[in-house]
Chain A
Amino acid sequence: MKKVKIRAKNLDVFYGDKQALFNVNLELNEKEVTALIGPSGCGKSTFIRCINRMNDVIDICKIEGSIEMDGYDINDKSIDVVELREKVGMVFQKPNPFPKSIYDNISYGPKIHGKGETKDELDEIVENSLKKAALWNEVKDRLNEPGTSLSGGQQQRLCIARAISVNPEVILMDEPCSALDPIATAKIEELIDELKTTYTIVIVTHSMAQAVRVSQKTGFFHLGKLIEVGKTEKIFKNPDNKMTQDYITGRFG
């Protein structure tokens, strides 16, 4: 029985007057991949952005209810958001490497958090992160080249390596493959499979096939509500809710 890493309780999210999420209750288990599916604009991205409090960047976003990680309410005043984001990493829809060298892209996080004081320590961290992201062999001879000189798929793996570099516990992925070709996508799905042994992963995806391939648990969102959540196999083979069934079979979305 897996331990619950993150728990959302009665979560409501507002953008100004518009409500984006309605009373979401969802548990994410550690060292497991949870997929969030649903049609466009149903609130999946909004949800995962709450987990690392990226919504703080948006002035008009208001949160009610709670999200707990390891039992602590992450929105509590006593929580330092900077520390939280060290523990919860994020990979974005469009790869966004910094306009720096590959090496500096990876070493940026550890340096800020004081995780690598000497050059040797940093070198090690960079190598490990790139290895874990299955990118090391492709770039080990050109660490000083800019991150932006890599292909789309490589850039995304670079971003994953960057997220890994600070040793997080959770990795959030917001449609990480939607800008990539099938081969690159396959490589990343392979990677996710390996990563789940170390990290808790939440992945938002448009592709139901992908959800089936990579996740163990799936949550279905529609218009800001969590319609159904459960083991991936169950959701896709015989969901309890009719709306879920309709979505799975392609009746809408």
Chain B
Amino acid sequence: MNSILILLITVFSITLFFYGRSKSKIWSIEKSVKLKALPKFYGYYLVLWCSIPSLVFLGVWTIFEPVIIKSIILKFAENQGANILDDNAANLLYEKVKSIYSGNFFGDIDFVLKESAVSYAKFLNLFTNSKIVLVFTLIIASIIYSLKKIKNNNKARDDVEFILKGLLFTSSLIAILTTIGIIFSLLFESIKFFSVINVFDYLFGTNWSPQRAFVRDATTITAAEYEELKDAFGFIPLIAGTAFIALIAMLVAVPIGLFSGIYMAEYASIKVRKFSKPVIEILAGIPTVVYGFFAALTVGPFFREFGESLGLTVSSESALAAGLIMGIMIIPYISSLSDDVINSVPQSLRDGSYAIGATQSETIKKVVIPAALPGIIGSILLAVSRAIGETMIVVMAAGLAANLTINPLDSTTTITTQIVMILVGDQEFNSPKTQSAFALGLTLFIATLILNYIALRVVKKYREKYE
């Protein structure tokens, strides 16, 4: 049905374009009036008015129609006596109704189901017909309006451009919409979560074992159940694990990245730089799932065997393996940014230092790096933000047990791993377990936001100094 409507709108639009274009020429001759714009713009004007309101209307209707119908039917079913106290039962009932409608249902159909299915068919029909009528009304109204306008010789080009500018502005609003969407998604579930689990139990709890949270519906938790639950969602081991692995990663990435950046910016010949810079940036282009695979398959077992040969117990999912691989992935973030930042330190500073008789390394250590420091710190902060938000490497190579440890040979888990693990298994809607994943996501989002903000401020301040 939608495709037919869209086709109709397209046909109307094309017709209107040619109509508008030719008619405007004719009218200007008839009335001996000079057109205020090229004829084709009158055509465009009609097209825009015909298509935009109706398409937008169609889109919004299509998106919200299923949701509205579903709530109507469920309300109806409840009135008929259906027992749909929780979401799962409600969804099940609705799925059955839809299957009956499409002729795919082969189970027993009781009275409630039958009535609901009939009601569903009725409302679906009603909505579809309304949609068609309303779309047509919109189209006709728009055509009448716009025809009147062009009859009065409007400044078609200006009007068309105004409308198009509106479209441009709307496109740029998508960015804000996305942010709103993210905040909404995270907050929505997190609020449900925090209505069950106290924020402080979450932030300061030292035990994370959400498997315990088998409660089906968060609204019916008893006090006794809560006592058990409140110790299951402690955030501390997760932030500790995340920070620990990120720390190992930075210990690998900062020295190698910084020295690579310094070498490429200060010492390397043009040929060497032309070769090594892209090769190192390959490290940034490799999908993280590849790193995760490499870490899980090769590096983790290697460390375990190597450790065993030295008499140490090393987990095959050691924080060391995950951190090392993550560090490798981060190297280009630091080396490229440092390279750029060091290059933008003015040569006059270096000249002043050489003229006093400093060696190149002394100049770099005491003049160039301090001058470039804000930019370098900014790049490190951005790298840390990347490390914290990284998912695949830790999902595949780090462990699942949330233990507080500072032994790099142990396995530990991170925020992102837990989000994936919670949401990939069987999802129980409305359980604190599923909601906790969103609470974790919210925490992660806020943390990276703050880090990114500080990093960008620092880099911006640095840029202002030299440009």
**Which A positions have Cβ atoms within 8 angstroms of B?**
52, 54, 57, 82-86, 89-90, 92, 94, 96-100, 108-109, 112-113, 159, 162-163, 165-166
B 358-417 contacts with A by CB, 8 A: 358-359, 362, 366-367, 370-371
Minimum CB–CB distance from A7 to chain B (whole Å) comes to 21
Chain A residues with Cβ below 8 Å from B367 are: 98, 108
Contact present for B355 and A52 (CB under 8 Å): yes
Q: In whole angstroms, what is the CA distance A112 to B359 when docked?
A: 9
Contact present for B357 and A113 (CB under 8 Å): yes
Select from chain B the residue with minimum beta-carbon distance to A162. Answer: B356
Contact present for B356 and A85 (CB under 8 Å): yes
By Cβ-Cβ distance, the 10 closest A-B pairs, closest first, are A85-B357, A90-B355, A96-B348, A86-B357, A109-B356, A96-B352, A82-B357, A112-B358, A99-B371, A82-B359
Chain B residues with Cβ below 8 Å from A163 are: 355-356
Contact present for A99 and B370 (CB under 8 Å): yes
Q: In whole angstroms, what is the CA distance A57 to B349 when docked?
A: 13
Select from chain B the residue with minimum beta-carbon distance to A87. Answer: B357
Given contacts A82-B359, A92-B348, A96-B349, contact A108 B354 (CB under 8 A): no
Contact present for A94 and B348 (CB under 8 Å): yes
Minimum CB–CB distance from B313 to chain A (whole Å) comes to 49
Select from chain B the residue with minimum beta-carbon distance to A91. Answer: B355
A-B contact pairs, 8 of them (CB 8 A): A92-B355, A98-B367, A100-B370, A112-B356, A112-B358, A113-B357, A159-B352, A165-B356
Interface flag for B353 (CB, 8 Å)? yes
Contact present for B351 and A112 (CB under 8 Å): no
**Which B positions have Cβ atoms within 8 angstroms of A?**
346, 348-359, 362, 366-367, 370-371, 465
| 6 further A-B pairs in the complex, CB-CB below 8 A; given A52-B355, A108-B366 | A54-B355, A83-B357, A108-B358, A112-B356, A112-B362, A112-B366
Q: In whole angstroms, what is the CA distance A98 to B365 when docked?
A: 13
| Contacts between chains A and B (CB distance < 8 A), count | 65
Chain A residues with Cβ below 8 Å from B346 are: 96
Given contacts A82-B359, A83-B357, A84-B357, contact A162 B352 (CB under 8 A): yes
- Which residue of A54, A83, A159, A162 contacts B354 across the interface (Cβ within 8 Å)? A54
Q: In whole angstroms, what is the CA distance A58 to B134 when docked?
A: 75
Minimum CB–CB distance from B363 to chain A (whole Å) comes to 10
Contact present for B358 and A89 (CB under 8 Å): no
Contact present for A108 and B356 (CB under 8 Å): yes
Q: In whole angstroms, what is the CA distance A99 to B369 when docked?
A: 11
Chain A residues with Cβ below 8 Å from B371 are: 98-99
Q: In whole angstroms, what is the CA distance A85 to B358 when docked?
A: 8
Q: In whole angstroms, what is the CA distance A165 to B353 when docked?
A: 13
- Which residue of B351, B362, B370 contacts A54 across the interface (Cβ within 8 Å)? B351
- Which residue of A83, A85, A112, A113 contacts B355 across the interface (Cβ within 8 Å)? A85
Chain A residues with Cβ below 8 Å from B350 are: 57
Select from chain B the residue with minimum beta-carbon distance to A100. Answer: B370
Select from chain B the residue with minimum beta-carbon distance to A110. Answer: B356
Given contacts A99-B370, A99-B371, contact A57 B357 (CB under 8 A): no
Contact present for B356 and A57 (CB under 8 Å): no
Q: In whole angstroms, what is the CA distance A96 to B366 when docked?
A: 15
Select from chain A the residue with minimum beta-carbon distance to B465. Answer: A99
Q: In whole angstroms, what is the CA distance A162 to B351 when docked?
A: 13
Chain B residues with Cβ below 8 Å from A86 are: 356-357
Minimum CB–CB distance from A21 to chain B (whole Å) comes to 20
Q: In whole angstroms, what is the CA distance A159 to B356 when docked?
A: 10
Given contacts A99-B370, A99-B371, contact A92 B351 (CB under 8 A): yes
Minimum CB–CB distance from A59 to chain B (whole Å) comes to 8
Given contacts A98-B367, A99-B371, A108-B366, contact A57 B354 (CB under 8 A): yes
Chain B residues with Cβ below 8 Å from A94 are: 348
Q: In whole angstroms, what is the CA distance A159 to B350 when docked?
A: 13
Minimum CB–CB distance from B374 to chain A (whole Å) comes to 11
Chain B residues with Cβ below 8 Å from A84 are: 357
Chain A residues with Cβ below 8 Å from B362 are: 112
For B350, B355, B371, the residue with the greatest tally of chain A CB atoms inside 10 Å of its CB is: B355
Chain A residues with Cβ below 8 Å from B465 are: 99
Q: In whole angstroms, what is the CA distance A89 to B348 when docked?
A: 15
Chain A residues with Cβ below 8 Å from B351 are: 54, 57, 90, 92, 96
Q: In whole angstroms, what is the CA distance A86 to B359 when docked?
A: 11
Contact present for B355 and A89 (CB under 8 Å): yes
Chain A residues with Cβ below 8 Å from B358 are: 82, 108-109, 112
Minimum CB–CB distance from A133 to chain B (whole Å) comes to 14
Chain B residues with Cβ below 8 Å from A166 are: 356-357
Q: In whole angstroms, what is the CA distance A82 to B352 when docked?
A: 13
Q: In whole angstroms, what is the CA distance A97 to B346 when docked?
A: 12
Minimum CB–CB distance from A252 to chain B (whole Å) comes to 30
Chain A residues with Cβ below 8 Å from B355 are: 52, 54, 85, 89-90, 92, 163
Select from chain A the residue with minimum beta-carbon distance to B466. Answer: A99
Select from chain B the residue with minimum beta-carbon distance to A105. Answer: B352
